[in-house]
Structures are given as structure tokens and as C-alpha cells.
Amino acid sequence: MDDHIVRTIARLVGVRAMACATTNLVNEANRRHGTAPTAAAALGQALTGGVLLGALLKVQQRMALKFEGDGPLQKIVVEADSYGAVRGYVTVPAMDLPKRQDEYDVTGAIGDGFLTVVKDLRLKNLYESVVPLTGGKIDADLTYYLNQSEQVPTVVQLGVDVGEDSRAAAAGGLLIQAIPPYDVEVARQLANRVQELPPVDALLKGGQSPEEILALVFADVPYKVLEQRPVHFKCQCSKERTARALIALGREEIQSLLETEGQAVVDCHFCHEQYLFNREELEELLKEMG
């Protein structure tokens, strides 16, 4: 199944819902970062959460999610836009922990700390909010953030089925959100149904598509499919942007790279693409700086 997200709305009862399949993008991210299984599960969940929250944004808006705790994984950073592109990394990709109750201990990996959400809504200032991590899973943290900080009744469920080889057999997520004025009783019923359904990764693994998962959630509640869109791991780095970052380091730093290495190799945090600047290119940058 190709990675994609489906957005739906049930206008009569005031609920929007979306479901996504992210298996390929999770595998692409984990391959690029060389993550151990626990780190792979954590990054996969956070990226899938980014896909869902990104789909709540308007055109051209962007957001970043940062899970930062006192656990051995240290930090997960994910960036998403409204077009279905996400990228992300974990600080310690080799981090692995013993499983707990047959699940990767993502909660223990992150530890106690904070979730910071930064939104670029194309306004003058960035919009930032910080909530404490719940001590639960990543989907519990995102649910808490949306309910507390944005004050919108929402349920997020993420499912990432990662094997011992760090590869995901299935990954995806589900988000149900009330939109005022909503029918409190129906919103509660739908949220309960999400809890009762098998986890999203199990449904995807069983061959159900995001469309079919949403049909299970809504059951007899009438709803409309608004959009289906591919989602993917996509980094925004480029040689051009990397050159600008080098220039920002300053003249002395470039001089010193020239003298010691004779070149510069810049590795992108988000995707591990490497950009090589040879002697001539570095000298060109110096010239540009005047």
C-alpha cells in the first residue's frame, strides 16, 4: 500500500477524522538514520504523528514537534507541512531498550520532559507551545497537547509495528477531532470506538486501507471524504541551503576548513544527505562573502 492520508468530515455531528498509512516513510527515515528498534519505533510514531498534525494545517503552514526528555533517546524532532511531507530525527539513533509487555519502551526511551510544538502559520511570529510529556505514549502526548493547548477535543492513535531488524511491517495513525458546534455524545462514541478497534498497525497489517479504517470508525455515522493525499519523507535540504549555512559560520571557520581539511563535508541532521564542498567551492564561498 502506498503511504497516504485520508481526511474526512461528518458535518452533521461536528467531527473530522483522518487516517494515514506511513509504513514506507517510516522505513525510509529509519534506514537513513540507522536506528535501533526502540529508536525506530519512537521515530516512526513521531513521524506518523507529524503527518496527522500536519494535515490539520492550512496551505503553506508548517510545524515542528520536539519531544525532549531525560531518557536515553534524548530528543525526537519532526517537521511536517500541510502537503504531506515530513522529516525527522532522533538524537541517539542507536538507542535500544528491553521491551516492556511485548512493546518497545518508547516512553522509557524519552523519559520525563516536554513536548514543544512550533507552528509557522505564515504570520509575523512563530507560534510556540510547550506541554509536559504525559509519561504515556507519543499518541497520548499529542492527544494531551491538542486538548490542553489547542483546547480541541481530539483523540490521536498511532501504530508502528517495528521488527527486530528495525523495519516496520506496518505503520499508521488515526485522528478524530470535534469541531464546534459538535454533538458531545456522538464525539464521545467515536472516540470510544477508536479505543475499541484493534491498533491501526494491526488493521493495516491485516490489509485494511486508511479509507476502510475510517469506515470502521464512523460505522453508521454519515461522513464525506474530503481528500486523499500521498505522504512521504522529504527533507528540504539542498546544496544551496547548505552553502548558506556554511557562509553563516563565518569567514574564519571556512578558512580553517580549507587549511585543515581542504574541503567541507556537511551532513544533514534530518536525512543524512551529505554535501561535499571542495577547495574551489569553498574559495568561491569566501569570494561571495567579499
**Prior bond to 181 cis, omega within 30?**
yes
Rounded distance between C-alpha atoms, residue 132 and residue 161, angstroms: 26
Q: What is the 3-state secondary structure (H, E, C) of 49-89?
A: HHHHHHCCCCCCCEEEEEEEECCCCCEEEEEEECCCEEEEE
Report the nearest approach of Zn ion to the CB of residue 63 (Å): 17
| CB closer to Zn ion out of 238 and 256 | 238
Residues 117-176 interacting with Zn ion (rule: CB under 5 A): none
Residue 77 near Zn ion by CB under 5 A: no
Report the nearest approach of Zn ion to the CB of residue 32 (Å): 9
Report the nearest approach of Zn ion to the CB of residue 89 (Å): 9
Report the nearest approach of Zn ion to the CB of residue 269 (Å): 7
Total residues at the site for Zn ion (CB under 5 A)? Answer: 6
| CB closer to Zn ion out of 182 and 233 | 233
| CB closer to Zn ion out of 148 and 274 | 274
Provide the grid cell at 212: 476502510
Beta-bridge mates of residue 67: 76, 115
| CB closer to Zn ion out of 55 and 237 | 237
Report the nearest approach of Zn ion to the CB of residue 258 (Å): 24
Report the nearest approach of Zn ion to the CB of residue 209 (Å): 30
| CB closer to Zn ion out of 13 and 237 | 237
Give the position of cell 479504517. 213
Residue 20 near Zn ion by CB under 5 A: no
Residue 86 near Zn ion by CB under 5 A: no
CA quadruple 193, 195, 196, 200: dihedral sign: positive
| CB closer to Zn ion out of 99 and 269 | 269
CA–CA distances in Å: residue 210 to residues 7, 84, 244? 10, 15, 40
Residues 224-283 interacting with Zn ion (rule: CB under 5 A): 235, 237, 268, 270-271, 273
Provide the grid cell at 233: 519523507
Rounded distance between C-alpha atoms, residue 109 and residue 67, angstroms: 11
Rounded distance between C-alpha atoms, residue 56 and residue 45, angstroms: 17
Residue 85 near Zn ion by CB under 5 A: no
Residue ranges in contact with Zn ion by CB under 5 A: 235, 237, 268, 270-271, 273
